């Protein structure tokens, strides 16, 4: 793919493409900032990923074409896979990063929390019930599929929860925004060594 040049680009940049019989996805990610542009064919997912990139302070160029005539599952999950791969590549050896991030985000009546560790030991703990099954044309259950794929491929210990909420749109938006904010904290360069008593992450 043609990798865009992000303003202030350092070494923490990665481009990944993935093509299957179900999806074609390209991602260029810069942890140090830049333009955010997302096109997946799913309007609500575009909105959520744009919010994630904005609140993380990332430069993010993402395009996805999937079998939306079937449903959105493959596109959403595979987008999580490729974005996780890009994050892992951009982090490199993870030296100097803060590593941990925590964020709470209120969205109207909903309050959500994300706590994560860029540990290279991937796991997802997801506790967010969706009161409505659909958000427009987006299946609200797919948020968990996205975050699982993102965590596994990004090497993230990721805990997300909705403390309370009544509207699936508000809950999902708070989850994505808090994920972005927690990532922004975790990828910060705070030193030169690996943040681990083991000496390796």
Domain of residue 132, CATH code = 3.30.230.40
Element (H, E) at 164: strand 157-164
| Average pLDDT value for the chain | 94
Determine the pLDDT at residue 73.
97
Which residues span the domain enclosing 122? 13-186
194 occurs within a structural domain:
no
2 occurs within a structural domain:
no
195 occurs within a structural domain:
no
> For residue 115, what pLDDT band results from cuts at 50, 70 and 90?
very high
Q: Does the global pTM surpass 0.75?
A: yes
- Examine the pLDDT at 136 and tell me if it is beyond 90: yes
Ranges of H-type helices in 26-118: 43-56, 73-91
The neighbouring-strand residues paired with 162 are: 112
5 occurs within a structural domain:
no
Give the count of domains, the chain.
1
Residue-wise pLDDT for 167-177, tens only, equals 999 999 999 99
198 occurs within a structural domain:
no
DSSP 8-state class, residue 138: E
Closest CA to 42 of 136, 133, 147: 136
- Examine the pLDDT at 96 and tell me if it is beyond 50: yes
199 occurs within a structural domain:
no
Angle at CA 168, nearest 5°, toward 54 and 56?
Answer: 15
3 occurs within a structural domain:
no
Residues of the chain with pLDDT > 70, as a percent, come to: 95
56 occurs within a structural domain:
yes
């Amino acid at each position: 793919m043609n990798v865009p040049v992000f303003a202030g680009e350092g070494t923490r940049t990665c481009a990944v493409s993935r093509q299957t019989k179900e999806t074609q996805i390209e991602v260029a990610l810069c942890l140090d900032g830049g333009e955010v542009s997302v096109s997946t064919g799913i309007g609500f997912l575009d909105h959520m990923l744009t919010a994630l990139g904005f609140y993380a302070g990332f430069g993010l160029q993402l395009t996805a074409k999937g079998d939306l005539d079937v449903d959105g599952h493959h596109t959403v999950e595979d987008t999580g896979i490729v974005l996780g791969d890009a994050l892992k590549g951009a982090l490199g050896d993870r030296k100097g990063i803060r590593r941990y991030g925590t964020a709470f985000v209120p969205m109207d009546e909903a309050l959500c929390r994300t706590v994560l560790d860029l540990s290279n030991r991937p796991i997802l703990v997801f506790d967010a019930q969706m009161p409505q099954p659909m958000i427009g044309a987006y299946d609200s259950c797919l948020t968990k599929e996205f975050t699982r794929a993102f965590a596994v491929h990004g090497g993230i210990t990721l805990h997300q929860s909705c403390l309370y909420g009544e509207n699936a749109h508000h809950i999902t938006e708070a989850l994505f925004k808090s994920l972005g904010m927690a990532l922004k904290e975790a990828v910060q360069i705070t030193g030169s060594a690996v943040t681990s008593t083991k000496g390796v992450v």
